[in-house]
């Protein structure tokens, strides 16, 4: 009865606005964000179940839900690429985490030149990927590279860094570690700087050794930052493209074929947009699955 009067309706509207003010002010931005995120993903799904041809000056889409999926199941190169990507991500991220953490603790414990060290260590992430690829390609060059000049200079046979199928992936891992360890260092260094000094001092007074201090105090306290760094690096490692493209282009053979490179070849070189979209979805699914497994394993370890 009271709601039917104009003043009561105004009061009701005012109450509604008060209760949902945050949501209403955020709504325009949310709508734009959702549209910009969801539309490309929805489009990717539609492409993945289509065959797209370019004819008569336009695009012709045909709904062929199983063709691309069957191709994915029979794509041996994709399976090899997935395995290589997994190996690459695990090896490079593991090394980067260990090195980044070690450097962060080391630089954090320095009393002088801390700023200089921090600046020097982050130089690799400031460099453009193309410059990094070109620089390392030259360094790895079998006949003209500085690495083989050093190796032969000390009396060993030259190393076929990027030309040996058993070594090529590890050569790319080395470049990735050089490129991305500073990123891990930067995140973890900020965490080290934020550690509560009194806790560490109390542990020292209680007689904790350096080893105890690192493994039982510092690392557990840094765990949130470590998880963030691990998450970021794992996602980025799964998407690796530029380093492989510039150094080996997936070769020799399939020894450095990774999923992004395979996707690039299908999408851009072969112009097979439908299957390219299907591959994109498969890569997204594989990344999510890997992160889920890693998170479950991490949670299980924490419980123990």
Based on the shown chain and the rule CB under 8 A, indicate whether residue 253 belongs to the binding site for another protein: yes
Q: Which is nearer to another protein, 118 or 265 (CB)?
A: 265
Based on the shown chain and the rule CB under 8 A, indicate whether residue 54 belongs to the binding site for another protein: yes
Based on the shown chain and the rule CB under 8 A, indicate whether residue 254 belongs to the binding site for another protein: yes
Q: Which is nearer to another protein, 215 or 268 (CB)?
A: 268
The span of 102-110, 117-125, 245-253, 282-290 binding another protein (CB under 8 A) equals: 245-253
- Return the HEC string of the chain: CHHHCHHHHHHHHHHHHHHHHHHHHHHHHHHHHHHHHHHHHHHHHHHHCEEEEEECCEEEEEECCCHHHHHHHCCHHHHHHHHHHHHHHHHHHHHHHHHHHHHHHHHHCCCCCHHHHHHHHCHHHHCCHHHHHHHHHHHHCCCCCHHHHHHHHCCCCCCCCCCCCCCHHHHHHHHHHHHHHHHHHHHHHHHHHCCCHHHHHHHHHCCCCHHHHHHHHHHHHHHHHHHHHHHHHHHHHHCCCHHHHHHCCCCCCCCCCCHHHHHHHHHHHCCCHHHHHHHHHHHHHHHHHHHHHHHHHHHHHHHC
Residue from 44, 69, 163, 204 binding another protein (CB under 8 A)? 163
Based on the shown chain and the rule CB under 8 A, indicate whether residue 144 belongs to the binding site for another protein: yes
Q: Which is nearer to another protein, 24 or 62 (CB)?
A: 62
Residue from 69, 142, 232, 241 binding another protein (CB under 8 A)? 142
Q: List contacts with another protein (CB under 8 A).
A: 54-58, 67, 77, 141-144, 152, 158, 160, 162-163, 165, 168, 248-255, 265, 268-272
């Amino acid at each position: 009865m009271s709601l039917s009067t104009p003043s009561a309706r105004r009061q009701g509207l005012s109450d509604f606005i008060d209760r949902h003010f945050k949501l209403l002010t955020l709504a325009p931005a949310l709508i734009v964000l959702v549209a910009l995120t969801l539309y490309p993903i929805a489009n990717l799904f539609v492409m993945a179940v289509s065959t797209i041809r370019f004819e008569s000056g336009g695009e012709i889409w045909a709904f062929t839900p199983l063709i691309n999926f069957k191709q994915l199941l029979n794509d041996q190169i994709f399976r090899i690429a997935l395995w290589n990507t997994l190996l690459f991500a695990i090896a490079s991220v593991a090394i980067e985490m260990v090195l980044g953490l070690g450097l962060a603790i080391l630089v954090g414990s320095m009393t002088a030149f801390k700023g200089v060290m921090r600046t020097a260590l982050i130089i690799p992430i400031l460099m453009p990927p193309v410059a990094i690829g070109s620089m390392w390609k030259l360094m790895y060059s079998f006949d003209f590279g500085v690495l083989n000049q050093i190796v032969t200079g000390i009396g060993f046979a030259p190393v076929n860094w990027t030309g040996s199928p058993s070594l090529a992936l590890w050569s790319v891992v080395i470049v990735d570690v050089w490129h991305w360890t500073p990123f891990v260092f930067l995140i973890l260094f900020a965490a080290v700087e934020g550690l509560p000094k009194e806790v560490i001092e109390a542990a020292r007074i209680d007689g904790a050794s350096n080893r105890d201090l690192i493994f039982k105090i510092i690392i557990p306290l840094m765990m949130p930052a470590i998880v963030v760094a691990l998450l970021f690096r794992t996602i980025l490692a799964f998407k690796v493209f530029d380093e492989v493209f510039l150094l080996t282009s997936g070769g020799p053979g399939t020894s450095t074929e990774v999923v992004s490179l395979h996707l690039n070849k299908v999408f851009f070189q072969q112009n097979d947009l439908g299957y390219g979209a299907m591959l994109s979805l498969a890569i997204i699914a594989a990344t999510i699955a890997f992160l889920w497994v890693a998170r479950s394993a991490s949670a299980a370890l924490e419980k123990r």
